[in-house]
Amino acid sequence: MGVKYQHPDYKAMVPQWKRCRDAAAGQSAVHAAGEAYLPRLKDQTDKEYAAYLGRTPFFGATWRTLAAMLGLIFRKPPTLDVPEAAGEMMEDVTLSGVPLDAFAKTLVEEALTVNRVGVLVDYPQSSPAATLADAAALGLRPSLCMYCAESIINWRFEKIGNAHRLTMVVLAEQRLDRKDEFEDEPTDQWRVLDLERDGNSVRYRVRVFEVQKDKDGKEIDVLMEGPAYPMLGGKHLDFIPFIFMSVDDLTPTVDLPPLVDLVDMNYAHYLVSADYEHGCHFAGLPTPVVSGYTPENGPNGEKPDKLYIGSAAAWVFPDPNAKASYLEFTGQGLDALEKNLARKENQMAILGARLLEAPKKGVEAAETAGIHRAGENSVLASVAQTLSEGLEKAVELLCMWAGIDGEVEFHLNRDFFPMPMSSDELTALTQALLQGAISFETYFAQLQAGEIIVATRTVEEEDAARKKDKPDDQAAAQKPPAAKQPEPQEPSEIE
């Protein structure tokens, strides 16, 4: 099969990824898939199936859950600490205007949806003799490129020395070729990242292939770009700058999406909804029934008169025993379907979509709420920690490739649920500060954790704002109090 060969783990997971993506995309994507998610009823015509499909809503539980999880992780902005020289680069990490925060949000959404995403740290090709100064003069700098799960079709690990290392990654891409002045034509290509052995050493190599057909109609791999050998600090790289990311780790292991059980229940709910809406459609349209009357043609072969429904029409039958009535569905079967829908919505809530539950009456105990949220919390904490590590690794390499030295730290928010500080806690904390039991930095950090002070504000900014807001109060505190004037006394009477 050549460069198009797909890893067995990849092939096994593609159907699950599609189910998860369609569920997250919502009703339009699910309806577009047609019979893949809603089988046709027996002997149903295309027109009847189209009406059947159009009547069936898809309950967007999957997307609502994903959106809620994204909102919890990005309830507070990520924290980033990079050398000052890298600050401008963090405002556009993709060379297409995407800042690091937005890039991180896309990665988290991919990880929650399909549990797999990759980031390639790339550098534009230049002369091997070019220095960092030459690259800066030409406007060349490294960038981050995201690859979704469906694009990472093959990979290989091999033992090099005493360690197992990533030695190959194949990425499916599409490039746009200019067809005419207004139209671009997509063309499939495959980017191969591998380690080329050179004696006892290896070097990173990049090639781009296109699959074409020879004169016999057989597919052949045609090299379109490369080989290129990116260098760092004048030396060839001995590793592939590609980072796999998932909810649990930074390895190429393919695992089930974290919300796959919710997705399956969402589709089960969809099927029951189809039955329910189908029943409502026919139950809501009673059928008129006439007995004891047979329409007959006129003496000259005219067709019998039609029976019109409404107050303006009268039905007169020759047979006095003729009867007319409505055939109506009592709807008892719909009650069972309604209960089934409610049960599945509750199951989806348990599986992750807690936003689907009606608000509870009264106050839920903190311990009970913590148990209810344990599942979501574990997934959120895991994805926040793992993707923080992966993005930190990518940013480190980005800075290194740009010739910027210094420590790099990146952390996604892990404080998912707001826990405001109570007045008693604030009083106790302030007393501890005044008594010298804690430093002002600790006091300030606790106020941020209690969401009294904005998380992005520094100690210096808060101190400057405090002094700016209350200059008169400070002056009044330093000014000595005025002397008290004696009160006038009434003259005493002289006897």
Domain hosting residue 440, numbered range: 418-468
* pLDDT of the residue at 254: 94
What 93-96 contacts at long range (C-beta under 8 Å, 24+ apart), as own/partner pairs, is 93/143, 93/144, 93/395, 93/398, 94/143, 94/144, 94/145, 94/146, 95/141, 95/143
Is 425 inside any structural domain? yes
* pLDDT of the residue at 443: 78
Is 240 inside any structural domain? no
* pLDDT of the residue at 465: 73
* pLDDT of the residue at 487: 56
* pLDDT of the residue at 285: 67
Per DSSP, what are the bridge partners of residue 266?
none
| Sequence-distant (≥ 6) Cβ neighbours of residue 235 within 8 angstroms | none
* pLDDT of the residue at 133: 56
* pTM score of the predicted model: 0.76
Is 445 inside any structural domain? yes
Is 449 inside any structural domain? yes
Span 160-181, pLDDT tens digits: 878 889 999 999 999 988 888 8
Span 42-82, pLDDT tens digits: 998 999 999 999 999 999 999 999 998 898 899 889 999 99
Q: Which parts of the chain have pLDDT scores under 70?
A: 125-139, 284-286, 296-302, 304-305, 311, 327-333, 353-377, 418-419, 451, 455-456, 466, 469-495
Name the domain count of the chain: 1
Is 341 inside any structural domain? no
Is 431 inside any structural domain? yes
Is 492 inside any structural domain? no
Is 438 inside any structural domain? yes
Kindly tell me the sign of the dihedral angle through the C-alpha atoms of 412, 415, 420, 423. Answer: negative
* pLDDT of the residue at 472: 55
